[in-house]
């Protein structure tokens, strides 16, 4: 399986890279230690931060929204997932508890501002291409109706689109039955710390999701 970024997409945005982690896992409903970290460290720190600064002051969110505008997509209508998480915290809504992999994704997003997606590899066919969504292209979102992915950066396999930095489709969603996962960090900046963030994400997945045999790479 190859992971490729379409040249046309590269030409449309100032910078785009994917931090990739591929690993074996036994997904569980909840990791209590992770949720203690959210409640005692992450949520209070973010609430304090957002008392004095706006969400657009977070560089990786600002640059992701800038990339959406370059593609012709309104980032205020189609929010990147990391911004949506920050807004939930700011509004006092907390996070949905999903499973150990998705919850760890959310930790990575809240610490970095990057959108993070995880995908069940058994449901992905062939190589993966990140490209611009086509005219009138849609897919069924997780817990949502059909999502208009036209002009969004979208992940596709041989069967069609299945993911984006805004919201993923049900096709490759992570469940308690998933055993082989691809986690992607969507980077629209020239962030020189992506390798460091990938390493930290590696350790979080080991600790909170019990991931094993982790492979990591950066696609440019």
What confidence score (pLDDT) does residue 107 get?
98
Cβ burial 173-196 (10 Å sphere, 16+ → b, else e): bbeeebeebbbbbbbbbebeebee
What confidence score (pLDDT) does residue 145 get?
83
Two tokens, residue 106: 């959310």
Sign of the four-CA dihedral 212, 215, 216, 220: negative
Domains of the chain in sequence order: 3-219 (3.50.40.10)
Q: Which helix (H) or strand (E) holds 139?
A: strand 138-140
Cα-based distances in Å from 16 to 11, 33, 123, 151, 206? 10, 33, 25, 15, 26
Do residues 189 and 60 lie in contact, with contact meaning Cβ atoms separated by under 8 Å? yes
Two tokens, residue 141: 């979102």
Residues 118, 101, 69, 72, Cα dihedral to 10° = 40
Q: What is the pLDDT along the chain (220 residues), one digit of tens a residue?
A: 999 999 999 999 989 999 999 999 999 999 999 999 999 999 999 999 999 888 999 999 999 999 999 999 999 999 999 999 999 999 999 999 999 999 999 999 999 999 999 999 999 999 999 999 999 999 999 987 899 999 999 999 999 999 999 999 999 999 999 999 999 999 998 877 999 999 999 999 999 999 999 999 999 9
């Amino acid at each position: 399986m190859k992971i490729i970024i379409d040249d046309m997409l590269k030409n449309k945005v100032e910078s785009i890279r994917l931090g990739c982690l591929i690993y074996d896992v036994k997904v569980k409903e909840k990791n209590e230690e992770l949720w203690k970290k959210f409640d005692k460290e992450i949520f209070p720190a973010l609430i304090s931060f957002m008392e004095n600064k706006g969400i657009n002051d977070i560089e990786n969110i600002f640059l992701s929204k800038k990339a959406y505008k370059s593609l012709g997509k309104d980032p205020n209508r189609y929010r990147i997932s990391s911004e949506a998480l920050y807004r939930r915290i700011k509004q006092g809504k907390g996070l949905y508890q999903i499973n150990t992999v998705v919850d760890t994704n959310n930790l990575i997003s809240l610490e970095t501002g990057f959108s993070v997606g995880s995908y069940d590899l058994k449901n992905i066919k062939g190589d993966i291409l990140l490209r611009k969504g086509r005219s009138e292209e849609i897919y069924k979102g997780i817990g949502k109706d059909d999502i208009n992915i036209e002009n969004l950066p979208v992940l596709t396999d041989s069967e069609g689109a299945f993911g984006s930095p805004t919201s993923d489709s049900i096709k490759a969603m992570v469940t308690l039955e998933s055993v082989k996962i691809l986690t992607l960090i969507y980077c629209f900046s020239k962030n020189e710390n992506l390798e460091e963030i990938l390493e930290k994400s590696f350790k979080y997945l080991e600790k909170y999701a019990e991931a094993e045999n982790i492979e990591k790479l950066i696609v440019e």
